[in-house]
Amino acid sequence: MGKRGHSQGFPKLPPGGCRQKTKLSAAAQAARGTISASGGSALATLLITTWAWGIISTPLVQKLAAAAVADGACKAELHHLAKLGKSGAYPGNMYVEITNYLTPPPLASCLTDMWIFMKLSVLRVVEVTSLIMEPHIVFSVLYKYRRSVFIQSMCGGAFENISSFWAAMSASGHPAYPNHTIKTYPDHANKAIPLLVHGDAVPVTGVQRSWAKSVEIWSWSSFLGRGTTIFIQFLSYLLYKGLLVESRSRSARDRFMTRFVWSLNWLAKGVFPDRNDAGKLYCKSDAEYKNVGEKLADGYCGVVWGIEGDLEHMNSVFHFPHQNNKMPCALCRANSSTIPWTDTRASAKWLSTIWSNEAWWSKTKDAHVMFRELPGVGIVSWCPDVMHCKHIGSDCYFYGSVLYYLVWHVMTEGAADNMAYLWSQIRDLYKEA
């Protein structure tokens, strides 16, 4: 993370960012050679891929490669890996060496610089450059270089799933669909991919202690994506909350949100932006100028259809009502007295007070930038994070209801035979996992 001075008395510090790092990496590769993921060694490819996914450490890569060389393997890639860290003598150098030898993957081009204020101590604030993965660039790079991954993670395995989704939204009467701006997009039923934005905070220091500090994680995914979480969930940014400077007019979160919403807006348009997040048009000297107006993915675009977060996150970031408030619900006007939220009858008063997007926008004067500037996003876009918004004791009822429905109503044999078969399938899946 590079640092720089600022005119308001901040210390002058040396610059540095992802572009400089990319140039240094490219120079190192030219000087030292590259391990090719498509080279002659299947073992080297497996080691590098497994390491890149975070499954094994760099020292273990070196040890396994060294063992293969000791057994007579003569592939150049394995010899490179075996020599990492002076053949294992300096494990601390291995990460830098392996990244210098590897060709940067296409997704590396998605990393861009963003300047933010960070608090180094009570009295010392500096402006630093951090890295953000902008959604519109990730979307475009996946489509261009990893088409099969794009189809699976964005469309659930087939482009036809896009039209099926919008048909289901229309048929079900989803409250966001009738007046959503997506309906004005050309060929939205076949080209607009519905996206989910997710935010949450996770303790990273002092876990379960009074001095615990968290990282706020922002990611996005497609409603149609199929696969493991690491495959379909795309990280955009991490905010270490212990270093946030909340008192400034443009805090780190505000700065990120401006860039994030700007990127999502251009992703909805399906083209590369013609201006930066501050509204300044790109000129010919800017690196981004060459892509201005070009389609991100042959006309495919991504439209935010849902924003997911638990109650605490939605309160702290989006200023939704706190769960202990007398009016605790952001989706309706239920309260703890005249319109009780605990009423579960079909005639409950709160059912008639559920917000529509239009009514909520008219009553909300200071809506968050994500709700204010993303097309069609409103209160009905909120998807409560069910894993954080329910009582853990309710799980058994959910599971029991699903099992009962499967055994007695969906499967075709007798209940006993259905249960035996279902249980065998569950055990087999657990063995695979």
Kindly state whether residue 27 falls inside one of the protein's structural domains. Answer: no
Dihedral, CA of residue 133, residue 138, residue 139 and residue 142, to nearest 10: -160
Tell me: the pLDDT tens digits for 83-122? 999 999 999 999 999 988 887 777 788 888 888 887 777 6
* Domain stop point among 63, 81, 102: 102
Query: Could you tell me if 118 and 81 lie in one domain?
Result: no
CB-CB contact of 225 with 138 (8 Å): no
Model confidence, pTM: 0.74
In a domain, 19, yes or no: no
Is the pLDDT at 321 greater than 70? The verdict is yes
Give the range among 82-91, 201-210, 342-351 with minimum mean pLDDT: 201-210
Q: Select from 60, 85, 102 the last residue of a domain.
A: 102
Q: What percent of the chain has pLDDT over 70?
A: 87
d(CA 384, CA 374): 19
Residue 372 lies in a domain: no
What is residue 144's predicted lDDT score, i.e. its pLDDT? 94
Looking at the structure, do residues 220 and 126 belong to the same domain, yes or no? Answer: yes
**Together in a domain, 195 and 259:** yes
**In the prediction, which pLDDT does 23 show?**
44
pLDDT at 246: 65
| CA atoms within a 13 Å half-sphere pointing along the CA-CB vector of 159 | 13
**pLDDT tens-digit series, residues 25-69:** 443 343 334 444 445 789 998 999 899 888 899 999 999 999 999
**Domain membership flag for residue 6:** no
Residue pair 237/256 in contact by the 8 Å Cβ criterion: yes
**Given this model, what pLDDT does residue 66 score?**
95
Residue 5 and residue 209: Cα distance in Å, rounded?
34
Residue 11: strand, helix, or coil: coil
Does residue 68 sit within a domain?
yes
97, 118: one domain: no
- The answer to whether residue 13 scores a pLDDT higher than 60 is no
Cα–Cα distance between 352 and 364 in angstroms, integer?
Answer: 19
User: Are 234 and 124 in a shared domain?
Assistant: yes
Percent of the chain with pLDDT over 90: 46
Lowest mean pLDDT among 78-87, 95-104, 134-143, 240-249: 240-249
Q: Are 276 and 325 contained in the same domain?
A: no
Q: Are residues 64 and 202 in the same domain?
A: no
Chosen domain end from 58, 73, 102: 102
Overall number of domains in the chain: 4
Q: What is the domain range of residue 422? A: 393-432
Sheet containing strand 2-4, edge to edge, reads: 2-4, 125-133, 111-119
State the pairing for strand pair 382-384/234-240.
Answer: unpaired
Residue 16 has pLDDT above 60, yes or no: no
Q: Is residue 93 part of a domain?
A: yes
- pLDDT digits 0-9 by tens, 284-295: 999 889 999 999
Arithmetic mean of pLDDT, 67-91? 92
In a domain, 191, yes or no: yes
Tokens at residue 103, please? 């060709």
26 within a domain of the structure (yes/no): no
Average pLDDT on 156-169 reads 95
Residue 425, burial from CB neighbour count under 10 angstroms (0-12, 13-18, 19+): exposed
* Sequence-distant (≥ 6) Cβ neighbours of residue 320 within 8 angstroms: 311, 314, 330, 382
Residue 11 reports pLDDT greater than 50 = no
Q: Are residues 410 and 306 in the same domain?
A: no
| Residue-wise DSSP of 329-398 | -SSS--BSSSSBTT--STT-GGGGGPPPHHHHHHH-SS--HHHHHSTT--GGGEEE-HHHHS-GGGHHHH
State the average pLDDT for the chain. Answer: 84
pLDDT score for 287: 87
In whole angstroms, what is the distance from residue 290 CA to residue 273 CA? 11
Asked if 155 and 248 sit in the same domain, the reply is yes
Q: How far is CA 144 from CA 54, 242, 302, in A?
A: 25, 38, 15
According to the model, what pLDDT value does residue 349 have? 94
Which residues neighbour 42 within 8 Å (Cβ) at sequence distance 6 or greater?
none
pLDDT at 211: 66
Same domain for 287 and 417?
A: no
Q: Are residues 340 and 289 both part of a single domain?
A: no
Alpha-carbon gap, residue 147 to 167, rounded angstroms: 25
pLDDT grade for 209, boundaries at 50, 70 and 90: confident
Of residues 115 and 420, more confidently modeled: 420
Of the listed ranges 12-26, 84-98, 160-174, 334-348, the least confidently predicted one is 12-26
Question: Quick one: 266 and 128 in the same domain?
Answer: yes
